[in-house]
Amino acid sequence: MSFASSAPSSKFVDLDVGPGAWIGLLVLIGILLGIDLYRHREAHAPTARQALTESAVWVACGLAFSVVIAIAYGSGAFGEYMSGYLIEKSLSVDNVFVWSMLFATMAIPVKYQHRVLFWGIFGALTLRAIFIFLGTALISRFWVLLVVFGVFLLYTGAKIIRHRDDEGEEEATRGLGLLRRIMPVTDTIEGQNFFTRLNGKRAATPLLAALVVIEVTDVIFAVDSVPAILAVSHEQFLVFASNAFAILGLRAMYFLLADAKERFHYLSHALGGILIFVGAKMAVSHWVHMNTYLSLAIIIGILVAAIVFSQRKNRQNAPTPPR
């Protein structure tokens, strides 16, 4: 039996994406990052209203690009892009809660967290691009990796459903240990600076330490999310674009949801359920292909169910007002 052949190309869209489209996408991402960096050039703690507005704008950008995809490449590409976008967006919520714990553990003031997250997400885009191009290249050559990745997602989904309260502490320790092997780390925050001088030598501030930890955690999350998106599309342009637009809005999402973990009691169950679903879908995709829009509907249904049941639990647990 040979494992060095891909699944039939008819299962997923196969686009002829020229260099112009790639350049346009990268330029657009660069412009959006530049605007975001300029708007937050002064350190400040965003209000809930600002976070909500920015989250809405980032979601609108992602949805607007889906319209471009539909016009340029058709409904099949649109379905795969939206499936990838929703998977990455939903799985990224877990990142938000881990970041909240990490920032609290490392005592990073709220007004400096945006700068750390900006460069963390900039690095995340680069890391995800490497993961995506490597993953799609391997899958196109060795279809058996679909089964391997699928089983891995099944395991990860089951683990996320169990969801530990101390998740992220191990990554924080690992990231700090890695940085301290390279240079000394101070305990003093020097404004928005990542570097300072300690005893005449270049040293890292807690902001750089937090950035390293964010990057370490993103590598770990990417191991889950990239294979999950590859379960719904094998087209590099769609996978990267959906991943990028979902990640770009994470900073605003963080400031909106960081303190809302208790209000979404069943969120980890939903994220685990999504991974289990896409893992099973990926494991059998060489033989059985599920309609893209059916997959999209199932993912949306899982997320909606988590929100509805979480709100119901919140109402049940709410203190009864005195009569």
Residue 142 or 263, more confident: 142
Is residue 196, in this structure, part of any structural domain at all? no
Residue 17: predicted pLDDT? 92
- Number of Cβ within 10 Å of residue 217's Cβ equals 24
Q: What total number of domains does the chain contain? A: 1
Question: What pLDDT shows up at residue 165?
Answer: 53
- Identify the pLDDT of residue 57: 94
**Tens digit of each residue's pLDDT (9 = 90 or more) over 283-317:** 887 787 777 788 888 888 888 888 888 888 877 77
Mean pLDDT of 135-153: 82
- Reading the block at residue 203, the tokens are 């040293």
Is residue 140 assigned to a domain?
yes
- Residue-wise pLDDT for 48-98, tens only, equals 788 889 999 999 999 999 999 999 999 999 999 999 999 888 887 777 777
Q: Establish if 193 belongs to a structural domain.
A: no
Mean pLDDT of 148-166: 74
* Span 199-217, pLDDT tens digits: 778 888 888 888 888 887 7
**163 has pLDDT over 80:** no
- pLDDT digit string, tens, across residues 226-283: 888 888 888 999 999 999 999 988 888 888 776 566 667 777 788 788 888 888 888 8
Contacts of 283 (CB under 8 A, 6+ apart): 146, 147, 149, 150, 151, 154
pLDDT of residue 61: 96
Cα–Cα distance measured from residue 221 to residue 216, given in angstroms and rounded to the nearest whole number: 9
* pLDDT for the residue numbered 8: 44
Does 238 reside within a domain? Answer: yes
Mean pLDDT within 112-122: 85
Parallel/antiparallel/unpaired status of strands 195-198 and 201-204: antiparallel
Reported confidence tier of residue 170, pLDDT bands at 50, 70, 90: low
- Looking at residue 46, its pLDDT comes to 78
Is 323 within a domain?
Answer: no
- The span from the CA of 284 to the CA of 231, in Å, is 10
Helix pair angle (292-317, 75-105), 10° resolution = 40
Establish if 190 belongs to a structural domain: no
Widest CA span in the chain: 73
Q: Which residues contact 79 (CB under 8 A, 6 or more apart)?
A: 292, 293, 296
Q: What is the DSSP letter of 259?
A: T
Q: What is the pLDDT of residue 7?
A: 43
Residue 55 lies in a domain: yes
Which residue segment(s) compose the domain that 73 sits in?
A: 20-171+222-313
Q: How far apart are CA 204 and CA 296, in angstroms?
A: 44
pLDDT value, residue 66: 96
Q: Is 291 left (phi over 0), alpha (psi -120 to 50) or beta?
A: beta
| pLDDT value, residue 171 | 57
pLDDT given at position 73: 94
Hey, what are 270's tokens? 């939903």
Predicted confidence at residue 5, as pLDDT, reads: 46
Over residues 16-30, the mean pLDDT reads 94
Report the pLDDT averaged over residues 141-160: 81
Average pLDDT over residues 109-113: 86
- Indicate whether 169 pLDDT > 60: no
Distance between CA 118 and CA 5 in Å, rounded? 40
Q: What pLDDT does residue 9 have?
A: 44
The answer to whether residue 22 scores a pLDDT higher than 90 is: yes
Residue 217 domain-assigned? no
